[in-house]
């Protein structure tokens, strides 16, 4: 438990020090952010996606959706679609504000901020919970924590771009608390293996969406080689586990 506490504290600190990301705001995109995106994607494809095969078998045997073929992958697709929908809902009022020719509406950005923070709070709580619930060796927990830490770095950068002032004063602390809350829930509440596998699949879809939406848009001017190096290097580490 002490080892888990160390890892969860490390994830909390990523959000707590979000204000230090000021030097990562440049365009073209910081090489470190592209590297972080590559690490997160490598973790999804090398570790999480293979785990979906086991998740599918578990849901087959015990899950409520066992009658659906390829259900674990369907849940991952649902996760991707849900976070895409939330992102679209968040950006709609922000885009509407830009098209108003500078006539700023206070309610739109605040509503977008709370929707963003609410969705990422649930996302972070799930990441904290899964740190406890997965049967991982200490080394596997290290890789999980590193991958999620890099993923948080990318998410923090996106949230800083959209809601810098309010995120630094409120948002980062809420997201830090959400990770800790998820971990505490994992200590106190035990759910079925099938439910955990379903949550794991849902998280996989969310991670893929959140990484690709930050790396692919042309205006980000993302850096391919740091992204490729992060992907290849972290994949190599994972394959020797």
Q: How do residues 66-111 score in pLDDT, each as one tens digit? A: 555 567 788 889 999 998 888 887 776 555 555 555 544 455 578 8
Domain ranges of the chain: 30-239
**Which pairs count as long-range contacts for 66-74, CB under 8 Å and 24+ apart, including other chains?**
72/197, 72/198, 72/201, 73/201
Q: Per-residue confidence at 208, pLDDT binned at 50, 70, 90?
A: confident
Q: Per-residue confidence at 62, pLDDT binned at 50, 70, 90?
A: low
pLDDT at 159 over 60: yes
pLDDT at 70: 62
How many CA atoms does the CB half-sphere of 160 hold within 13 Å?
Answer: 20
DSSP 155: H
Which has more pLDDT, 32 or 153?
153
Q: What percent of the chain has pLDDT over 70?
A: 77
44's tokens:
């999804």
Flag whether the pTM goes above 0.95: no
């Amino acid at each position: 438990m002490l080892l888990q506490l160390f890892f969860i504290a490390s994830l909390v600190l990523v959000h707590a020090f979000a204000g230090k990301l000021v030097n990562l705001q440049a365009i073209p995109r910081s090489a470190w952010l592209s590297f972080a995106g590559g690490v997160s994607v490598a973790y999804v494809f090398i570790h999480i996606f293979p785990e979906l095969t086991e998740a599918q078998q578990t849901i087959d045997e015990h899950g409520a959706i066992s009658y659906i073929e390829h259900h674990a992958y369907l849940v991952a697709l649902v996760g991707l679609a849900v976070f895409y929908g939330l992102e679209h809902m968040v950006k709609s009022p922000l885009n509407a504000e830009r098209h108003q020719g500078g006539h700023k509406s206070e309610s739109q950005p605040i509503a977008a901020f709370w929707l963003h923070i609410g969705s990422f709070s649930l996302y972070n709580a799930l990441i904290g919970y899964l740190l406890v619930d997965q049967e991982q060796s200490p080394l596997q927990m290290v890789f999980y924590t590193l991958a999620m830490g890099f993923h948080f770095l990318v998410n923090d950068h996106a949230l800083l771009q959209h809601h810098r002032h309010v995120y630094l004063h409120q948002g980062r602390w809420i997201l830090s608390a959400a990770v800790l809350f998820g971990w505490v829930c994992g200590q106190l509440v035990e759910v079925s293996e099938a439910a955990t596998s379903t949550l794991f699949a849902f998280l996989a879809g969310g991670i893929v969406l959140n990484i690709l939406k930050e790396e692919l848009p042309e205006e980000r001017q993302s850096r391919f080689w740091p992204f490729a190096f992060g992907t290849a290097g972290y994949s190599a580490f994972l394959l020797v586990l």
